[in-house]
Amino acid sequence: MTPKRVVTFAALVAALAWALMTVGAYVRVSDSGLGCPDWPACHGQLVAGGHHALIEQVHRWIVTVLSVALVVLAVLVYRMRQGERRVTTAMTITLALLGLQVVLGGVTVLLNNVSWTVVMHYGAAAALLAAVLLVVVRLAFPEAESPPRDGYVRLVTWLAGTTFGLLLMGATVATTDSHESCGKSFPLCRGDVVPSADHHAVINMAHRVWAGLALLLALWVWRQTGRWRRGVWQIEAAARGMASLFLAQAAVGVAVIEAGENDVLEVLHSSLASLTWLAVATLLWMARTLPVPEVVQSGTGVERSAWRTSIADYLTLVKPRIMLLILITAYGAMAFAADGPPRAGLTAWTLLGLGLSSGGASAINHYLDRDIDARMTRTAGRPVPTGRVAPEAALGFGTGLIIASVAVLALNVNLISAGLALAGAFTYVVVYTYWLKRRTPLNIVIGGAAGAVPPLVGWAAVTGHVGLPAAFMFAIIFLWTPPHFWALAILAKREYANAGVPMLPVVRGDRETARQILLYTLLLVGISILPFADRTFGWVYLTGAVVLGAEFVLLAVRLLRDTSPPAARRLFLYSLAYLALLFLVIGLDRARLS
């Protein structure tokens, strides 16, 4: 047999090992494990056991065929690749795992399918599949002089360990019937884990969290493949297939939860899990076998710093300082609506969803404003205009975050908060950035509505509707936005002019801008006192609003007298502190009243 045919035969053996795991999943789902209560043969149980015995017998026949095929493969490997220790050692490990798998199969039957033996049996099958794939890769690719041991290999090794652990966790969920503990609730076991202290619910929840982390790690490995193994098409193809299978497996997992007891979906879920494991193991052995491209070898330090720079760039895209301010205002509204600190779970989901929406809108803003940013000194170093992040990548990243935001809020909070967050993102991206920013000096006045949405989201998350206090908070942020951004516009007036953006200082000058800042500041302070007059907020809030507002007005008056950059900078920086402190006072006021 030619070397090429040996590789093909080894690949067929790996496919048979995967088929064995799929049939094993059907054995479990159909409760056919004890269709043949003796071992290794059925001894007349085919008739008495009915279809369960037949299913179990087919499973054992596949084991027999696989065992014979592996022995044949071993003979071929030992004869044709006798001097290559890496290949022969892999084959020896495979035969040892085959023996372990057969023994565990017998123990599982003789002990009447005790859960721990079933999990060990499944784990041995997964290890056997990985070992066969190791033989395939070492047969297919020549042995490198110095096998790669760089950061990419370590990253894929972590993914393989995480995926193998996920397989064992999934098998534990299946064999202990823990999948029924949370019903159809997703992604959390609503009220099942803590109140009942049900260990099945704990196992189920741990499986879901583990699966989510594994999915994120898989997508990150796929992302890093283009950096560490660019040009190695075998590894790039394996990484794409692996990531696609992880996404498909996640989708089927959600479908299993939503559908409840469905044998077809459960078998598909298990089959995809073993196929995903096949892809991960293949990627691992390729990464540890194929040589590293010279461009990576010569610039390993550069590559290591590149992925750190990439993380920093994507953090820049979401504008974390703006996001923090948005989350503070939303939490202040939540604390007021809940008469104190809101529930931790609700707070986490709401702030996560709102943060995703804010980050997504900011990333799309980077995409739309890339031409403007390139002409302004203040923004020329941003990731998109410098080319560190491709425009399409920024757009896709932002869109994905907004979609994730809607999903998080709709599934875990309520539809009103999801709709409000989406409306805020739409206003910022379409109304402000795309439509108004380049057309009118009133861009920030109208577009400021986007930044005023977070309190509405926080209030709706707690109450399920939008109330008068939330409307007051909306108005406060709406009137705060023009003074805040116009102060910044005075600082960057020349840059805005060069970029062709009709900000107020560019169109009407610094003096008129300072007048408008003072006017809006007075309106802001007046509106901020109305909630006390309406008895919505108490004395603690009134004291804070008056003190903070007085300082804001004082700085606005000084700016009108002196429109120099230092005066504009003082007002700009104070405006940031003003809004954060005002919403902190709102939370303190409600905590005092409760």
Distance CA 474, CA 486 (A): 19
pLDDT at 95: 87
What is the dihedral sign for C-alpha 414, 420, 421, 423?
A: positive
Q: Does residue 183 carry a pLDDT above 90? A: no
Task: Please compute the mean of the pLDDT values over residues 391-406 and round it to a whole number.
Answer: 91
Closest CA to 309 of 225, 363, 389, 367: 389
Q: Does residue 195 carry a pLDDT above 50? A: no
pLDDT at 421: 95
Q: Does residue 196 carry a pLDDT above 60? A: no
pLDDT at 227: 77
pTM of the model: 0.51
pLDDT at 240: 87
DSSP SS3 for 438? coil
Q: Which of 119-123, 261-265, 404-408 has the lowest mean pLDDT?
A: 261-265
Q: Which of 64-68, 227-231, 276-280, 571-575 has the lowest mean pLDDT?
A: 227-231
Q: Which of 74-83, 208-217, 256-265, 289-298 has the lowest mean pLDDT?
A: 289-298
Q: Does residue 279 carry a pLDDT above 60? A: yes
Task: From residue 56, give the alpha-carbon distance in Å to each of 15, 24, 40, 68, 172.
Answer: 20, 8, 11, 19, 20
pLDDT digits (tens, 9 = 90+) for 342-377: 888 899 899 999 999 999 999 999 999 999 999 888
Specify the amino acid at residue 576. L
Helix crossing, 415-426 with 344-368: angle to 10°? Answer: 20
Specify the amino acid at residue 203. I
What residue segments make up the domains of the chain, in order of their start?
Answer: 1-143, 146-298, 310-434, 467-594
Q: Do 228 and 293 meet the contact criterion of CB atoms below 8 Å apart?
A: no
Distance CA 86, CA 95 (A): 15
Q: Cβ neighbours of residue 502 under 8 Å, at least 6 residues apart?
A: 438, 439, 440, 441, 443
Closest CA to 73 of 56, 92, 97: 92
Pair of tokens at residue 345? 């779970």
Q: Cβ neighbours of residue 415 under 8 Å, at least 6 residues apart?
A: none
- Helix, strand, coil percent content, the chain, rounded in steps of 5: 80, 0, 20
pLDDT at 46: 43
pLDDT at 367: 94
Task: Please compute the mean of the pLDDT values over residues 545-568 and round it to a whole number.
Answer: 94
pLDDT digits (tens, 9 = 90+) for 457-494: 999 999 999 888 889 999 999 999 999 999 999 998 98
Query: What is the pLDDT confidence band of residue 61, given thresholds at 50, 70 and 90?
Result: confident
pLDDT at 144: 58
Task: Please compute the mean of the pLDDT values over residues 14-25 and round it to a whole number.
Answer: 82
Q: Does residue 309 carry a pLDDT above 60? A: yes
pLDDT at 110: 66
Distance CA 114, CA 103 (A): 15
Pair of tokens at residue 354? 């709102």
Task: Please compute the mean of the pLDDT values over residues 115-136 and round it to a whole number.
Answer: 83
pLDDT at 3: 76
Q: Is 467-594 assigned to CATH 1.20.120.1780?
A: yes
Task: From residue 178, give the alpha-carbon distance in Å to each of 102, 109, 429.
Answer: 27, 21, 44
Q: Do 50 and 30 meet the contact criterion of CB atoms below 8 Å apart?
A: no
Residue that the structure tokens 């109140």 belong to: 195
Q: Cβ neighbours of residue 332 under 8 Å, at least 6 residues apart?
A: 455, 458, 473, 583, 584, 586, 587
Task: Please compute the mean of the pLDDT values over residues 67-92 and round it to a whole number.
Answer: 83
> What percent of the chain clears pLDDT 70, i.e. is strictly above it?
83
Helix crossing, 151-175 with 300-317: angle to 10°? Answer: 60
Distance CA 27, CA 417 (A): 44
Q: Which of 173-177, 212-216, 278-282 has the lowest mean pLDDT?
A: 173-177
Compute the chain's Rg from CA coordinates: 31
pLDDT digits (tens, 9 = 90+) for 157-181: 989 988 988 888 888 777 765 455 4
Which option is the CATH number for 310-434: 1.10.357.140, 1.10.287.80, 3.40.50.1370, 3.50.30.10?
Answer: 1.10.357.140
Distance CA 401, CA 425 (A): 11
Q: Cβ neighbours of residue 326 under 8 Å, at least 6 residues apart?
A: 354, 355, 358, 451, 454
Tell me the average pLDDT of the chain: 82
Distance CA 114, CA 190 (A): 29
pLDDT at 401: 92
Specify the amino acid at residue 112. N
Q: Do 481 and 575 meet the contact criterion of CB atoms below 8 Å apart?
A: no
Distance CA 518, CA 261 (A): 64
pLDDT at 40: 58
Residue that the structure tokens 């992925």 belong to: 307
